[in-house]
Structures are given as C-alpha cells and as structure tokens.
Amino acid sequence: MAFVSPTKRDQNGSYTFSSRPRPVEDRSKYREPPSEQTQSNYGNIMYDRRVVRGNTYAQQIIPTTALPDPVEVQRQQETRRRTVAAKRAREQCRTRTPEALQGRKHIDVQTDLYLEELSDVIVASDIECQTDAFLDKPDTPLFIPAKSGKDVETQIEEGELFDFDTEVQALLEVLVGKTVEQSLEEVMEEEELAGLRAQQRAFRELRNNELEEVLRLKEQERRRSKEKERRVAQQKEVLRKEREVAEKIAARAYTQQYLADLLPAVFTSLRSHGYFYDPVEKDIETNFFPWLMAEVNNSLEKRYTARALLDTIIDDVAHKRQEAFKDTQ
C-alpha cells in the first residue's frame, strides 16, 4: 500500500514530496490475472486515461474555466452521445465469426510458416555458477600513470619577495616599543605607589609626633589643673580650719566668763532651795512635828466629839423639856 505523505510546504516555502518506500509485488514472469483483485489506488501510468497519449501538436486544449459554458457543455454532451451511438452502431454492423455448427468447435490454429509450441509450462533451465577459489596473486604494482603534460618549476630567490631586515624592523619596533612602554608604565606606577607610601609614612611619623605633643600637653594641663584644684582645696581647708579655731577660742572665752560667777550663784541657789540643811532641825521637822500635830489633832478631835455629844444631849434634853412643857400646857 503506498503511503504518500501530504505535500507540505517546507519552512522555507519550498515544495516537498515524500512517499513511503513500498516493496515490489512479486509476480510471475508471464503474468496471470491475480486471484484476487487487489484494490490499488495506483495504476499503471501507461493505462491511465488522464494521461495524454499520442501526438500533442494538434491536441485540443481543455479550457480551464471553472464554469464551462452551458452551451459548450451541451454540445460536448451531444458529441459524446453521438460518438457512443456511432460506436454501438458500428459494433452491431461488424461481422463476426459465425457460430460453430453443432458438434463442432472453433479452435485456434497457427497458420504461420513455422509452428510454435504453445504450452503453459515455461521452459526453465537451472544454471549454476561458482567463482573459483581465490588464488594467491602478487601485489598489484603501484599505479604510476604515465607522465603527461609539461613540467614547470619555479623558485623564489633571495630578496625577491621581501627584505626581511627592513620589514622586520617595523614589527620589532612596535613589539619592543609596546613591551617597553608597558613595562615603563608599570615601573612608574610602582614608583608612584612607593612614593605615595613613603609620603604616607612620613606623614604618619609627623602625625605621631604631633599627636604625642598634643597628648603630653593635654596630660600636663590635666596635671596642672588638678594640682591647682588641689592647692585651692587645700587653701580652702586651711581657711576653714582657721575660722573654726577662731570660733573655738571665742567660745572658750565666753564660757569662761560666763562660768566665772557660776559657782557662788549655784551655791546660793542651792542653799535657797534648801539643799544644805541642819539634820537635827530636819529631823525634828520631819519626824517630831507631824507626830505632835497628829496628837494635838487627835486630842482636839476628842474634845470636839465630846462637845458634839454634849450638844446633842443638851439638845435632846431641851426638846424633851419643851415637849413636856407643851404637854403640860
């Protein structure tokens, strides 16, 4: 079965066609009609009705109009019908071999001068062939073709193409010059860097120098100001102490003066408060007199009670006498 790949436009727009390879059908040499009709989509180009055959000089070119003229179409149909009819008519009028009589059969007979045997059997003969075994043969000699043509030679002599020394000078100048220039640049760069570094170092030394001076002066200043403060504080302390001492002296003088007549005043005040006493007198005062007074009080009390009693008795008697008097009235 043939497989024709669809013709497709290539990416570049060119036309491509490809079809699958198909095996050749094996048929016998003298073709017999195949037992089964293979429906093949292809046909032999020789028997294709679409292929133009014969002389094309006087060929009628089919007009490629999409819509053929209806009149034309009708006329073509007419001619077609007429040819068909004519053909049928001719067929009918054609004389054919009459039918065989009863009991007889028509048979094909060769009428040529020389008879030919017709048979189905195809004469076949087997032939074999075999190559001889390889024989040792000597190496083929080198094929040296015969000399043909004209020999020509040429040679470049010294000094014909170019003069090396003059030419190379320019190149060398450039090469060496560039290398030297580059190396000089690098050396200058390194020198510059070294100079910068030396400058930096010198600067750093000077800076350290001045920094030390600054720090030293700062420290000196700090020391001196501290010293000043200390001395001022010291002086203040001295003044304070002096003042304190002066106050102490003044206080001492005052107290001395105050305490001068303190002693007699104290003694008098004590004496006046009775802290210095005569013990006998005190004793009489504290022990004897209270007892005496108490005894006096007691005796007086007794007298009072007696008098009170007497008063009541008198009163009683008086009352009784009064009542008795009343009674007698």
Partner 1 sequence: MAGSPYDPSRAPVAYGRRAVPQLFSELQQQEAPRRMRALASLCDLLRDPERISCTVSGGFLEQLKVLLKDEDSIVRAKTCELIHLLTAHRIGRQALLSSSFLPHLSELMDDSSSSCRRNVQRVLNRLTLMPAGAEALLTLVPKLMLKLREEEEEEEEDVQVLLLSTLSSCSCLDPLPALASDGVSLLLHKLSDSSTDIRREATAALMVLSVCEDGMRQVCEEEVLPVLVDLLRDEDVEVQANAAGVIMYAAIINEGKRQCLELDVIPILLSLVSQDGEEEKDKERKKALVMYSLRALTALAEAPQGRCLLLEQLPLLGRRSEAAEEDQDIRRNAQNAVRVITWTPCNTGDL
Write out the residues near partner 1 by the rule CB under 8 A: 205-206, 208-209, 211-213, 215-216, 219-220, 223-224, 228
Question: Position 166: which residue type?
Answer: T
- Helices and strands in the chain: count of H runs, count of E runs: 5, 0
Q: Least distance (Å) from partner 1 to the CB of residue 219? A: 5
Token pair 């106050």 is found at: 247
Token pair 């390879």 is found at: 21
The angle subtended at Cα 90 by Cα 89 and Cα 91, nearest 5°, is 90
Q: How many CA atoms lie within 13 A of 43 on its CB side?
A: 8
Long-range contacts, stretch 266-272, CB < 8 angstroms, 24+ apart: none
Nearest CB to partner 1, comparing residues 212 and 315: 212
Q: Least distance (Å) from partner 1 to the CB of residue 191? A: 16
Distance separating alpha carbons of residues 92 and 95, to the nearest angstrom: 8
Q: Least distance (Å) from partner 1 to the CB of residue 205? A: 4
Which tokens belong to 42? 């292809």
Nearest CB to partner 1, comparing residues 208 and 287: 208
Q: Least distance (Å) from partner 1 to the CB of residue 183? A: 13
Q: Is 274 left (phi over 0), alpha (psi -120 to 50) or beta?
A: left
Q: Are 30 and 123 in contact (CB under 8 A)?
A: no
Nearest CB to partner 1, comparing residues 81 and 204: 204
Q: Least distance (Å) from partner 1 to the CB of residue 237? A: 19
- The total number of residues shown for the chain amounts to 329
Which tokens belong to 306? 């007696």
Q: Least distance (Å) from partner 1 to the CB of residue 194? A: 14
Distance separating alpha carbons of residues 181 and 188, to the nearest angstrom: 10
Nearest CB to partner 1, comparing residues 187 and 270: 187
Nearest CB to partner 1, comparing residues 202 and 324: 202
Nearest CB to partner 1, comparing residues 80 and 218: 218
Nearest CB to partner 1, comparing residues 217 and 296: 217
Q: Least distance (Å) from partner 1 to the CB of residue 218? A: 8
